[in-house]
Amino acid sequence: MGLWGLAIIIFLLPHMAQMTENFPGFKIRITSKGLELLKLETQKFVEEELGGITMPEMHGMNGNLQYSITDIKIKELNLTADLSFQPVDGLLFDVQNSSITLNFQRRVIYWLFQDQGAINASAEGVYINTTLHLAKDDEGRLKIANVSCDASIAKMKAKFGGTFGRVYDFVATFLTTGMRFILNRKICPALNHAGLVLVNQLLETIPVRAEVDSYIGIDYSLLSDPVVTGTSLDMDFRGMFYDLQNESDILENYSPNPVLNEYNHMIYMALSEYFFDSGLYSYFKGGVFRMHIANERMPKDLEMLLRTTYFGAIMLLNPALLDAPISLEIDVTAAPKSSIKTSGATVAVHAGVRVLLLPAGKSPVQLSSMTMESKLNAKVYMKDKRLAIQLDLRRFKIFSNQSALESLALIPLQAPLKALLQMTIVPLLNNYTKKGVQIPLPDGINLVEDVVKYHEGYITIGANLHFRSGLKELIEKTS
Ligand SMILES: *[C@@H]1O[C@H](CO)[C@@H](O)[C@H](O)[C@H]1NC(C)=O
Ligand SMILES: *[C@@H]1O[C@H](CO)[C@@H](O)[C@H](O)[C@H]1NC(C)=O
Ligand SMILES: *[C@@H]1O[C@H](CO)[C@@H](O)[C@H](O)[C@H]1NC(C)=O
Ligand SMILES: *[C@@H]1O[C@H](CO)[C@@H](O)[C@H](O)[C@H]1NC(C)=O
Ligand SMILES: *[C@@H]1O[C@H](CO)[C@@H](O)[C@H](O)[C@H]1NC(C)=O
Ligand SMILES: *[C@@H]1O[C@H](CO)[C@@H](O)[C@H](O)[C@H]1NC(C)=O
Ligand SMILES: *[C@@H]1O[C@H](CO)[C@@H](O)[C@H](O)[C@H]1NC(C)=O
Ligand SMILES: *[C@@H]1O[C@H](CO)[C@@H](O)[C@H](O)[C@H]1NC(C)=O
């Protein structure tokens, strides 16, 4: 290979690498502020889960002593807990020097004496160290891949009162040691279950590939495992719409990687141009941008105008066609393209417009074929947990690509066609886009106080999280 060949390869390599790298169309960042809220919810949830631990009964005999301990119940948990980011893939839930209060029924027989009643006990110096490791599963869904857990109880106290004081000194140590051993062994399995089964159940409610309407679907699969740093949890999603009729017909992603660099809100989302373009492409492929306006859908004044404009042409063609219904066909010729700048987002649409006569029982007669170029302003907004778009016609131009003379003749049509578009077609499009598309968050977690910002090539949305109810209730609703 010559020097030139080498130079070409060196020149091309970085470009090829860039082409094969799949940048996310959609990103989510949870910040430390978001983690603060999660911490409160997690602590409540863990307290409820540990409160539900069931303890086996204890029976036994030791010399002349017979005992049975039943109805061991956890009464109260006083956890001093923290939730923190654990690079590279985890969240650490850490319980320090906390206490667990229990209550149980005792029945003791010593020689001929019997004693029974309720007793309070407490586990003190409870330490729990749980790391939830996050990963993407085969489907591309976020899940807790595994839980590492470590628990210890420094001491267990039980206040045996009454007439048997001395006997109990001996038996108390014996019983509390057993109780401490059992409790300690039950903490981690309870937390493993909470993470691997219950929280994963909630994560199952996040849409990965879901239908948006009868034309398109959205792909929110994770491109890679989530990345945890000291200050954030970052998730890169494909963020791509697809045509429901042909899911393999997808648009290549050449959009840049959106950048998130703010930490004031609990959650940030980024949407690249690709996110929107893949939606426009899929609608285009699904045939949504094809419109035929005729008969009752044709506004009367527009019809009048079309007849006036093409009166000469019809007379030349065949005067018998003068009363035939007139039709306007708008066919978007290529997938519309979005453009996001700091000043806002726009969508450029190129269409072919044909004016036809539809004589009864005969094939249509074409009067004119023109090209339409228009630009719409696109305003992105959040509606509950859905991302919606409001379109507004900004620029509109029709011209003939065949003759300059015809372009001139089309001038009177510019304003009425623009009005037609603004009044009939834009509301039709908004009717599709106002329903919005769900963003990948679990059920019951909503966004509030959202702020939309426009950047070069992408949009960011900062928001705060709101739990509709406690984690446990949310999970119970999913099962
Ligand atoms: C648990 O905490 C609450 C409030 O912080 C306090 O009133 C209660 O006495 C504590 N219980 C124990 C057993 O430490
Ligand atoms: C744990 O808490 C107890 C009572 O709340 C306190 O007396 C003790 O000093 C604490 N131990 C540590 C290591 O913080
Ligand atoms: C156990 O504690 C509860 C309150 O926490 C108290 O009402 C009850 O009297 C206690 N029982 C015994 C046997 O100490
Ligand atoms: C918790 O456990 C992890 C690993 O198991 C360890 O690196 C970390 O130091 C522990 N933290 C505490 C506070 O015990
Ligand atoms: C836990 O899951 C993470 C991510 O999938 C993995 O890297 C790690 O090796 C797993 N640890 C254990 C103990 O299975
Ligand atoms: C689906 O799209 C792919 C890629 O554009 C194309 O090769 C294939 O023929 C399409 N299939 C159908 C049924 O249209
Ligand atoms: C003119 O526009 C029509 C409709 O968009 C198209 O079919 C035709 O190929 C165009 N002709 C030229 C010369 O660009
Ligand atoms: C708006 O869309 C809904 C379905 O999403 C449809 O039922 C309704 O007829 C549409 N309204 C208009 C005015 O097109």
Q: CA distances (Å), 373 to each of 66, 98, 142, in order?
A: 93, 68, 42
Helix, strand, coil percent values for the chain (each to nearest 5): 35, 45, 25
CATH label of the domain that carries residue 370: 3.15.20.10
Both 201 and 166 in one domain: the answer is: yes
Last residue of some domain: 183, 206, 229? 206
pLDDT tens-digit series, residues 299-315: 888 888 888 888 888 88
Last residue of some domain: 143, 171, 206? 206
Last residue of some domain: 151, 178, 206? 206
pLDDT tens-digit series, residues 117-157: 888 899 999 999 999 999 999 999 999 999 999 999 999 88
Q: Whose CA is nearest to atom 11 of ligand 1?
A: 78
pLDDT tens-digit series, residues 193-244: 999 999 999 999 898 999 999 999 999 999 999 999 999 999 999 999 999 9
For 404, residues 6+ apart whose C-beta sits below 8 A from its C-beta are: none
Question: Measured from the CB, is residue 146 less than 6 Å from ligand 5?
Answer: yes
Largest Cα–Cα distance of the chain, in whole Å?
Answer: 124
Both 363 and 453 in one domain: the answer is: yes
Residue 331: inside a domain = yes
List the single range of 2-6, 112-116, 367-371, 473-477 with lowest mean pLDDT.
2-6
HSE-CB of 184 using CA atoms within 13 angstroms? 18
**Domain of 273?**
210-467
Q: Cβ–Cβ contacts within 10 Å for residue 384, how many?
A: 11
Both 190 and 234 in one domain: the answer is: no
Residue 290: inside a domain = yes
Give me the pLDDT at residue 18, please.
47
Residue 477: inside a domain = no
Both 179 and 254 in one domain: the answer is: no
Both 200 and 216 in one domain: the answer is: no
Both 79 and 164 in one domain: the answer is: yes
Cβ atoms of 377 and 346 closer than 8 Å:
yes
Give me the pLDDT at residue 116, please.
85
Q: CA distances (Å), 134 to each of 143, 199, 228, 421, in order?
A: 6, 11, 9, 48
Both 199 and 221 in one domain: the answer is: no
Residue 479: inside a domain = no
Residue 111 pLDDT more than 90? no
**Cα separation, 21 vs 252, whole angstroms:** 11
Q: Whose CA is nearest to atom 3 of ligand 1?
A: 78
Question: Measured from the CB, is residue 133 less than 6 Å from ligand 5?
Answer: yes
For 368, residues 6+ apart whose C-beta sits below 8 A from its C-beta are: 310, 313, 354, 355, 400, 406, 410
Residue 38 pLDDT more than 50? yes
Ligand 7 centroid to residue 134 C-alpha, Å: 53
Both 173 and 250 in one domain: the answer is: no
Q: Cβ–Cβ contacts within 10 Å for residue 388, how many?
A: 16
**Cα separation, 79 vs 82, whole angstroms:** 9
Give me the pLDDT at residue 163, please.
65
Give me the pLDDT at residue 113, please.
81
Residue 134: inside a domain = yes
Both 333 and 274 in one domain: the answer is: yes
Domain count within the chain: 2
Both 193 and 261 in one domain: the answer is: no
Both 460 and 317 in one domain: the answer is: yes
- Encode burial over 11-40: b for 16+ CB neighbours within 10 A, e otherwise: eeeeeeeeeeeebbbbbbbbbeebbebbbe
Percent residues over pLDDT 90 in the chain = 58
